[in-house]
Amino acid sequence: MKKIAAVALLSAFIAAPVAAEDMHMYIGANVGSAQIDAPGLDASTAFSVLAGHKFNSNFAAEVAYVNFGSVDVAPGNTVKSSAMSLSGVGSFPLNDQFSLFGKLGVASTTVEGTGFSEKNTGVTYGVGAQFDFDRQFAIRAGYDAYKIGDAVKEDETVMSIGAL
């Protein structure tokens, strides 16, 4: 699944410059801090890559791959997690350059640790702000939450900053 997801995202990155001539397609990358909402667990470094299609100034659809990193839950037991998501993005422009956004979608998550591996499909949501330098480059900051599994009942949250 990870190899298929990587090929799909790489294909989107390669095809995006050709399709982006009408400025409706975009690609981006984020880096930030991921945290499983459970007591005593440290945060990890997360990164994501995304591709989207902007239908108008208020609505877009995005596909993303997120690597939440890994965290030690006990001596010798490290948990790694990742997700593939598809979300609708609603934007509220405050002026020509600055907008607020909200995301709602579905994510397929994988959690792996010593002796177990679990896949789950659940809701993902997020909020953030975006600053457009021009029609080709923007930065965004966001907060996203993912349901990561049944064995691990907590959500995984990500605070990130990125470029589009």
Q: Which of 26-40, 53-67, 107-121 has the highest mean pLDDT?
A: 53-67
CB 63 within 8 A of CB 52: yes
87-114: pLDDT as tens digits: 999 999 999 999 999 999 999 998 888 8
CA-wise closest residue to 96 among 130, 62, 126, 143: 130
How far apart, in whole angstroms, are the C-alpha atoms of residue 152 and residue 109? Answer: 11
Q: pTM of the entire structure?
A: 0.81
The pLDDT score that the predictor gives to residue 159 is: 96
Lowest mean pLDDT among 39-48, 132-141, 147-156: 147-156
Confidence of residue 4 (pLDDT cuts 50, 70, 90): very low
DSSP state of 152: S
Are the C-beta atoms of residues 140 and 128 closer than 8 Å to each other?
yes
SS3 90: strand
Q: Average model confidence (pLDDT) for the chain?
A: 84
Q: Is the pLDDT of residue 51 over 90?
A: yes
Contacts of 140 (CB under 8 A, 6+ apart): 28, 30, 101, 128, 129, 130, 131, 161, 162, 163, 164
Distances in Å between the Cα of 112 and the Cα atoms of 57, 75, 95, 164 are: 39, 16, 43, 30
**Which residues does residue 108 pair with via DSSP β-bridges, in sequence order?**
84, 121
pLDDT band at 77 (very low <50, low <70, confident <90, very high): confident
